[in-house]
């Protein structure tokens, strides 16, 4: 019978394990962990061997269990009680009666695999003292016998509530006598039924809401809509949280949420474990949506700091409100000059349309051969002056007052707003000018000096070619081998571009011995931190001004600028009187479209040396530009013969002549000859002729026409040394 009961218990254990699988989302052992439990148990016992007579055996015991806090499935156990042996021998019914008073220590493993069921196993050992009341009648007193007692068993627990559990306890005991009385030594099987009271509060009870986190310190700063992208990666404030429990909380997540201005909470930190009493300071992030750009002025807001975590395996959440001010998209503080880049908005379609108008208006006035980006900057400068844009100091917060003072909130107008208002402070005009240049792909930046900010842009020209920009080396700034041009943008509408350029250079040079007082910022680098503000684009209804006035003012500046560049070549040529210098002067004239003066310079070089091959080729180039292709071809062929006779037919100069001959045949639609001369040039240096591959590859008339049109003025001039 005992074996059948034992088998039944094992079957129940297996069924329970199958039916009540643990929910992976909750660790029931941790969630329902208790500090200590006490219980009482009754067992009916049956020995595996006969004692010589039959006995009724039962056990009454108590137990104290204390779970190990980090590992609550392991529960050190103290068990104490009494086993009563009642003899049923008819001859001597009382002689062998005895009570075993015992105490044992051990370890219980108990796994709570669902809310209401546990299964486990135990191993205990200890001391039992047997008391025989009638073993020796002559003594007329009890006889004590010392024993060792060991127990191993299983537990199936039904948990109707957090504090109370019912335990079915199949087990096997082993009794070993330390005296000569060995009659009761051996294994004893038992099935116990017990009830246990567990101390602590039910975590599922209404009054047991977890509040393990204390918000010790919350620091929040005023926020600015223009810094929307910055706040996603840089803290907007700080919070200090403390775990008030004695034990750890786990899977801690700290987020910030602002209703109406965020699509979801922004995660700031993940903490795997926060130990009991431990504190942690966390920087809060904020991923705002575009709704922040719709605010006007200062908007008071109340957001929430959200902390999610697990305590004893149970998910918990706490929230803390925080109030702050949100400034609109025109506001900022000057604690970091790079913030200006957030107001440079080249994606604005209104600005793109305006810059396209400017370029179209000036396209016939562009000087071929002169730096294109510098010319576009000049066109934009004069176009802004034409519509009446002027500099006006901000009366409420002038730049001289707000620069470097993070306590003062300044306002920068978006470029589209400055265009509508046609007035602005130095920061307003700087972001407007930079934005317009950026719309056409010109890299920009800004320079700060004490009390002032102004624009700068990248011409893309190598630093070694500074004379092609301006003969004065100091008129450009060398940045990573490229020439940048500064512009004193506050002179719009009052002075021409060259004056604004010179004045900006003076500001830059003024602090060359005190570079800590001047700052150079590249827009694209700053916008990696401070992305442009979001815009709700609308038509500006902008009057673009008179095209003729824009072109006239642009031409005046270009004539002066080109004249200044050429002047140095002319002065050198007239002073030295060398053929090489007159040839360079002629190339400079030709580069800027002054073909008549270029011809005079080349002929002057030939007067000095009638056999001077470089001037001869360059005269042919002028004839090509005038569409006198037959005459140009004669000049090029004569020059090629000279290069070959001198044994320098593979030189850089000869390569240029071959390409010029190929271009000329191409213009004459003699495509086979064009291809032949191109291939000759290709053999000398494939890399240098790659951009002219159309000379050897185009086959359709349509393709030929497009290629000629795009390269019709791309003729190659020769200078000494080639």
The confidence band for 702, taking pLDDT boundaries of 50, 70 and 90, is: very low
Q: Is the distance from CB of 405 to CB of 437 less than 8 angstroms?
A: no
Poorest-pLDDT segment among 33-42, 106-115, 344-353, 565-574: 565-574
- State the fold for domain 2-198: Porin (2.40.160)
The confidence band for 20, taking pLDDT boundaries of 50, 70 and 90, is: very low
Q: What is the pLDDT of residue 340?
A: 93
- State the fold for domain 549-711: 1.25.40
User: What does the alpha-carbon distance between residue 12 and residue 65 come to, in Å, rounded to a whole number?
Assistant: 24
Q: What is the pLDDT of residue 698?
A: 57
Q: What is the pLDDT of residue 51?
A: 76
Q: What is the pLDDT of residues 250-267, one digit of tens each?
A: 999 999 999 999 999 999
User: In degrees to the nearest 10, what's the CA dihedral of 591, 592, 597, 603?
Assistant: 0
The confidence band for 430, taking pLDDT boundaries of 50, 70 and 90, is: very high
Q: What is the pLDDT of residue 542?
A: 79
Q: What is the pLDDT of residue 458?
A: 97
Q: What is the pLDDT of residue 18?
A: 45
Q: What is the pLDDT of residue 352?
A: 92
Poorest-pLDDT segment among 144-148, 269-273, 477-481, 585-589: 585-589
Q: What is the pLDDT of residue 408?
A: 72
Q: Is the distance from CB of 217 to CB of 240 less than 8 angstroms?
A: yes
Q: What is the pLDDT of residue 21?
A: 45
Q: Is the distance from CB of 433 to CB of 345 less than 8 angstroms?
A: no
Poorest-pLDDT segment among 46-50, 400-404, 526-530: 400-404
User: What does the alpha-carbon distance between residue 604 and residue 592 come to, in Å, rounded to a whole number?
Assistant: 19
Q: What is the pLDDT of residue 203?
A: 76
Q: What is the pLDDT of residue 262?
A: 95
Residue scoring higher pLDDT (53 or 550): 550
Q: DSSP labels for 227-250?
A: GHHHHTTS-SEEEEEEE-SSS-EE
CA-based nearest residue to 542, from 662, 416, 393: 416
Q: What is the pLDDT of residue 400?
A: 57
Q: Is the distance from CB of 414 to CB of 427 less than 8 angstroms?
A: no
Q: Give the full edge-to-edge strand order of the sheet including 298-311.
A: 223-224, 314-327, 298-311, 249-257, 266-274
Q: What is the mean pLDDT of residues 183-204?
A: 90
Q: What is the mean pLDDT of residues 624-634?
A: 90
pLDDT higher than threshold 80 for residue 405: no
Is residue 5 classed exposed, middle or buried when 0-12, 13-18 and 19+ CB atoms within 10 A define those classes? Answer: middle
Q: What is the pLDDT of residues 272-319, one digit of tens each?
A: 999 999 999 999 999 999 999 988 899 999 999 999 999 877 888 999
- Whole-model pTM over 0.85: no
The confidence band for 102, taking pLDDT boundaries of 50, 70 and 90, is: very high
In the chain, what are the domain boundaries? Answer: 2-198, 213-329, 334-545, 549-711
pLDDT higher than threshold 60 for residue 687: yes
pLDDT higher than threshold 60 for residue 618: yes
pLDDT higher than threshold 70 for residue 711: no
The confidence band for 8, taking pLDDT boundaries of 50, 70 and 90, is: low
- Of all residues in the chain, the percent with pLDDT exceeding 70 is 91
Q: What is the pLDDT of residue 699?
A: 54
CA-based nearest residue to 423, from 386, 390, 383: 390
The confidence band for 592, taking pLDDT boundaries of 50, 70 and 90, is: confident
pLDDT higher than threshold 60 for residue 1: no
Query: Which helix (H) or strand (E) is 219 found in, with range?
Result: strand 213-220
User: What does the alpha-carbon distance between residue 208 and residue 412 come to, in Å, rounded to a whole number?
Assistant: 53
Which value, in Å, is the radius of gyration of the alpha carbons in the chain?
47
Q: What's the mean pLDDT when you consider all of the chain?
A: 88
Q: Is the distance from CB of 704 to CB of 669 less than 8 angstroms?
A: yes
Poorest-pLDDT segment among 133-147, 293-307, 487-501: 133-147
The confidence band for 2, taking pLDDT boundaries of 50, 70 and 90, is: low
- State the fold for domain 213-329: Immunoglobulin-like (2.60.40)
Q: What is the mean pLDDT of residues 523-548?
A: 85
Q: What is the pLDDT of residue 370?
A: 87
Neighbouring-strand partners of residue 303: 322
Q: What is the mean pLDDT of residues 504-511?
A: 93
User: What does the alpha-carbon distance between residue 584 and residue 615 come to, in Å, rounded to a whole number?
Assistant: 9
């Amino acid at each position: 019978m005992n074996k059948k009961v034992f088998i039944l218990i094992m079957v129940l254990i297996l069924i329970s394990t199958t039916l009540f699988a643990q929910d992976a989302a909750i660790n029931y052992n941790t969630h329902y962990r208790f500090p200590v439990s006490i219980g009482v148990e009754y067992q009916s016992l049956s020995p595996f061997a006969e004692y010589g007579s039959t006995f009724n055996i039962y056990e009454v015991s108590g137990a104290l269990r204390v779970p190990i806090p980090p590992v609550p499935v392991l529960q050190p156990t103290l068990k104490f009680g009494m086993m009563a042996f009642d003899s049923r021998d008819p001859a001597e019914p009382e002689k062998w009666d005895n009570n075993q008073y015992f105490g044992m220590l051990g370890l219980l493993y108990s796994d709570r695999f669902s809310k209401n069921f546990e299964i486990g196993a135990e191993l205990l050992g200890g001391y039992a003292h047997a008391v025989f009341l009638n073993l020796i009648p002559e003594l007329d007193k009890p006889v004590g016998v010392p024993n060792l007692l060991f127990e191993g068993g299983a537990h199936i627990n039904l948990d109707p509530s957090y504090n109370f559990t019912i335990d079915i306890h199949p087990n096997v005991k082993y009794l070993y006598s330390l005296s000569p009385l060995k009659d009761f030594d051996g294994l004893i099987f038992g099935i116990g039924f017990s009830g246990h009271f567990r101390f602590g509060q039910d975590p599922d009870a209404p009054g047991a809401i977890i509040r393990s986190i204390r918000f010790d310190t919350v620091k929040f700063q005023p926020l600015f809509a223009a810094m929307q992208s910055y706040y996603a990666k840089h803290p907007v404030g700080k919070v200090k949280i403390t775990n008030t429990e004695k034990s750890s909380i786990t899977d801690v997540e700290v987020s910030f949420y602002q209703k109406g201005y965020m699509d979801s909470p922004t995660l700031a930190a993940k903490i795997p474990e926060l130990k009991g009493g431990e504190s942690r300071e966390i920087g809060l992030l904020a991923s705002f949506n575009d709704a922040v750009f719709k605010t006007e002025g200062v908007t008071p807001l109340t957001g929430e700091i959200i902390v999610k975590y697990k305590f004893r395996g149970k998910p918990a959440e706490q929230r803390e409100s925080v109030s702050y001010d949100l400034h609109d998209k025109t506001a900022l503080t000057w604690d970091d000059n790079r913030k200006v880049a957030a107001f440079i908005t080249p994606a604005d379609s209104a600005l793109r349309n305006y810059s396209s108008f400017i370029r179209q208006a000036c396209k016939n006035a562009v000087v071929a051969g002169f730096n294109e980006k510098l010319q576009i900057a000049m066109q934009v400068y004069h176009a802004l002056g034409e519509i009446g844009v002027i500099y006006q100091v901000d009366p409420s917060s002038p730049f001289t007052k707000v620069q470097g003072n993070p306590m003062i909130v300044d306002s920068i107008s978006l470029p589209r707003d400055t265009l509508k208002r046609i007035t602005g402070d130095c920061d307003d005009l700087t972001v407007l000018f930079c934005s317009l240049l950026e719309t056409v792909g010109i890299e920009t930046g800004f320079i700060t000096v004490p009390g002032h900010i102004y624009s700068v842009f990248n011409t893309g020209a190598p630093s070694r070619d500074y004379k092609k920009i301006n003969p004065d080396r100091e008129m450009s700034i060398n940045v990573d081998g490229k020439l940048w041009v500064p512009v004193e943008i506050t002179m719009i509408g009052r002075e021409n571009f060259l004056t604004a350029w010179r004045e900006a250079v003076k500001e830059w040079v003024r602090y060359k011995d005190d570079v800590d007082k001047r700052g150079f910022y590249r827009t694209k680098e700053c916008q990696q931190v401070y992305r442009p503000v979001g815009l709700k684009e609308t038509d500006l209804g902008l009057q673009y001004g008179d095209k003729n006035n824009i072109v006239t003012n642009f031409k005046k500046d270009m004539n002066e600028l080109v004249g200044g560049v050429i002047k140095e070549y002319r002065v050198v040529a007239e002073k030295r009187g060398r053929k090489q210098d007159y040839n360079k002067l002629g190339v400079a004239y030709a580069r800027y479209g002054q073909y008549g003066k270029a011809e005079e310079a080349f002929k002057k070089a030939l007067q000095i040396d009638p056999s001077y091959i470089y001037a001869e080729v360059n005269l042919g180039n002028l004839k090509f530009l005038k569409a006198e292709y037959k005459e140009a071809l004669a000049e090029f062929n004569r020059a090629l013969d000279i290069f070959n006779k001198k044994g320098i037919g593979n030189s850089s100069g000869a390569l240029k002549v071959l390409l010029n001959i190929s271009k000329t045949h191409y213009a004459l639609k003699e495509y086979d000859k064009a291809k032949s001369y191109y291939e000759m040039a290709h053999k000398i240096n494939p890399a240098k002729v790659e951009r002219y591959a159309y000379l050897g590859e185009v086959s359709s008339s349509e393709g030929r026409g497009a290629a000629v049109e795009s390269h019709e003025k791309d003729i190659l001039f020769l200078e000494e040394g080639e």
